[in-house]
């Protein structure tokens, strides 16, 4: 009997999983700045299947060595309590000083590690989300890789975007469901209310609210705090900040007409 077979016979499947994850994390130490390589090591599908890591590398690089709070909606592995967590371990390797929080509709507590905390609940349960916020505090990065149901994506954003720090980033994956009827989307009417892209395209106007020629216009929360939006194939990044740049044109016009 060789050593590997002996270890297999003497340990539980759960223990072998933990050892496997630990060995991957050790290997990942040699590639900590390369998110694409980390995705491969930790077996997440965010790179070769979805092509997301190239964008995450670009947008998240400034946060690498900061003490941040990161929340990812969705652990993966569906109902299997021992499956999932690949991207959480990837984030843990990429952000060595981060606290990683996650939530899933199924119990994924087995997958918790040092610096990885997982909660069980729905991404549209506001009381549940509030309880996570009460424990974790404001987030620097929020990633929605949850149900991908259009209504869920929008409702989660509306609750969680205010829980994002100024200077933070909110990322949404798999936005192609905006076109899929089974998820509440449509490919027939791109201006259909309630779809992911109709909702987030409308927020582009918030970026430019200073240009509105409207008397007594009241700024929304998004007017005040969305400073940029980046749309890619199947994903969106929303940057939070103080959106207070004045309109040079309207300001100058007021001076001339004043």
Q: How many Å apart are CA 188 and CA 108, to the nearest integer?
A: 37
Tokens for 158, please give them: 């509306």
Tokens for 31, please give them: 């590639």
Which of 167, 166, 163, 193 is CA-nearest to residue 178? 193
42, 55, 59, 148: the catalytic one is 148
Q: How many Å apart are CA 180 and CA 31, to the nearest integer?
A: 37
Q: How many Å apart are CA 222 and CA 236, to the nearest integer?
A: 16
Q: How many Å apart are CA 193 and CA 83, to the nearest integer?
A: 35
Tokens for 183, please give them: 């998820």
Q: Go through 147-177 and write b for each residue having 16 or more CB atoms within 10 A of its CB, e for each that does not.
A: bbbbebbbbbbebbbebbbeebbbbbbbbeb
DSSP state of 184: T
Q: Tell how strand 226-232 and strand 235-240 pair up.
A: antiparallel
Q: Are 209 and 230 in contact (CB under 8 A)?
A: no
65 given a catalytic annotation: no
Sign of CA dihedral 133, 136, 137, 138: negative
Which amino acids are annotated catalytic?
Answer: 148
């Amino acid at each position: 009997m060789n050593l590997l077979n002996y270890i297999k016979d003497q340990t539980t499947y759960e223990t072998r999983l933990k050892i496997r994850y630990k060995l991957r994390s050790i290997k990942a130490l040699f590639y900590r700045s390369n998110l694409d390589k980390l995705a491969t090591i930790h077996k997440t599908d965010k790179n070769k299947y979805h092509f997301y890591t190239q964008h995450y590398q670009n947008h998240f690089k400034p946060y690498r060595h900061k003490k941040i709070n990161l929340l990812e909606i969705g652990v993966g592995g569906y109902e299997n309590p021992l499956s999932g967590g690949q991207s959480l371990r990837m984030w843990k390797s990429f952000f060595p000083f981060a606290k990683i929080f996650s939530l899933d509709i199924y119990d994924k507590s087995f997958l918790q590690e040092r610096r990885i905390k997982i909660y069980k609940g729905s991404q549209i349960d506001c009381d549940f989300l509030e309880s996570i916020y009460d424990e974790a505090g404001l987030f620097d990065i929020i990633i929605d890789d949850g149900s991908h149901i259009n209504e869920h994506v929008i409702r989660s954003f509306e609750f969680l975007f205010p829980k994002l720090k100024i200077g933070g980033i909110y990322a949404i994956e798999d936005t192609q469901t905006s076109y899929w009827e089974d998820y509440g989307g449509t490919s027939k009417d791109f201006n259909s209310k309630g779809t992911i892209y109709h909702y987030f395209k409308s927020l582009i106007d918030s970026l430019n609210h200073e240009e509105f020629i409207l008397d007594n216009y009241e700024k929304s929360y998004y007017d005040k705090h969305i400073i940029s939006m980046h749309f890619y194939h199947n994903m969106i990044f929303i940057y939070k900040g103080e959106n207070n740049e004045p309109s040079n044109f309207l300001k100058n016009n007021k001076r001339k007409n004043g």
